[in-house]
Structure 1
Amino acid sequence: MGLIEQPAVSDSPRSVVRRQYLASAAGDLEALRATLAPDVEWTEMAGFPLAGTYRTSAGVTAGVMEVLGKDWQDWTAHDDTYVVEGENVVVLARYTATHRTTGKALKVRVAHHFVVRGGLIVRFEQFVDTALVRDAAS
């Protein structure tokens, strides 16, 4: 019996971003870090609880993903629609979660802009109605 070859993982910008969403939804921080460039710049929008720019794949997972998981139950970014032009990937998405302290549910539309080079995410910027997030957290 011969070996069964696994299909190659695509490094297309859309595929890389999709792997990031899947890893995030699964809580697989190692797989998520594997989609990020070592010098990634990850910007959470002003007014968002984690507002600011995070650098390095470890910095993004520790400063954003782990904190979201601690503060929110079932935090999920649902990637609904992709718009791709070259290295730019814009995703129209939704966040759903329940705040662990307030018990309030969050359902909010978001837009994410990724820049992918060499099969890795080098830049991310979040756009979200931060008032809805703040209201759920308070």
Structure 2
Amino acid sequence: MTYDFDTSPVPADVVRRQYLASAAGDLDALRSTLAPDVEWTEMAGFPLAGTYRTPEGVTSQVMERLAAEWDDWAVHDDTYVADGENVIVLARYTAVNKATGKAIDVRVAHHFTVRGGLIVRFEQFVDTAKVREAMR
């Protein structure tokens, strides 16, 4: 079965659209993938640790802050595992910290829950020590 990638409600396609929007810096497109009551959790120990709600809250408190603190922040999503509304993505973060000039290249796992064609929940798993080390 073939899906129109721009409109498909298939959970993995929705998640992929979110990554593409983020990579393009298109925060409006990114917000369009998020449910109004989204819960976006950055892992304890990560510089932006916490749970953010609403599409605007996610983009202003996560994406915009990452862009302000890191050069060339990128998520390289390479493996998707989908089971119903759950999508696990294995990926890497790469970036250079603006304050220290130190680079990161760390593996991450993201767990998304997609309902009705929108991301309702996100949880990040990452080696926070490597990220923090680049900030010192």
RMSD of aligned Cα (Å): 1.2
Secondary structure, aligned partner of 1:32: helix
Runs of 4+ off more than 4 Å: none
Q: What is the rounded CA distance, in whole Å, between the counterparts of 2:101 and 2:5 in structure 1?
A: 42
Q: Does 1:112 align with 2:103?
A: no
Gaps of 5+ in 2: none
Spell out, residue by residue over 1:41-82, the C-alpha distance to the aligned partner (whole angstroms, 9 max, x if none): 000000000000000000000000000000000100111100
Q: CA 1:35/1:132 → structure 2, altered by over 3 Å: closer, same or farther?
A: same
Q: What is the rounded CA distance, in whole Å, between the counterparts of 1:117 and 1:23 in structure 2?
A: 19
1:9 CA drift (Å): 1.8
1:96 CA drift (Å): 0.3
Q: Percent of aligned positions with the same letter in both sequences?
A: 74
Secondary structure, aligned partner of 1:68: helix
Q: What is the rounded CA distance, in whole Å, between the counterparts of 1:129 and 1:63 in structure 2?
A: 20
Q: CA 1:7/1:108 → structure 2, altered by over 3 Å: closer, same or farther?
A: closer
Please tell me the residue identity of whatever aligns with 2:58. Answer: V
Please tell me the residue identity of whatever aligns with 1:85. Answer: D
**Aligned residue number for residue 136 of structure 1:** 134
Secondary structure, aligned partner of 1:64: helix
Secondary structure, aligned partner of 1:30: helix
**Aligned residue number for residue 58 of structure 1:** 56
TM-score, scaled relative to structure 2 = 0.96
Q: What is the rounded CA distance, in whole Å, between the counterparts of 1:7 and 1:89 in structure 2?
A: 16
Gaps of 5+ in 1: 1-5
TM-score, scaled relative to structure 1 = 0.94
Q: CA 1:110/1:37 → structure 2, altered by over 3 Å: closer, same or farther?
A: same
**Aligned residue number for residue 80 of structure 1:** 78
Spell out, residue by residue over 1:80-108, the C-alpha distance to the aligned partner (whole angstroms, 9 max, x if none): 10000000000000000000010000100
1:7 CA drift (Å): 7.6
**Aligned residue number for residue 12 of structure 2:** 14
Spell out, residue by residue over 1:85-137, the C-alpha distance to the aligned partner (whole angstroms, 9 max, x if none): 00000000000000001000010000000000000000000000000000011
Q: What is the rounded CA distance, in whole Å, between the counterparts of 1:40 and 1:9 in structure 2?
A: 19
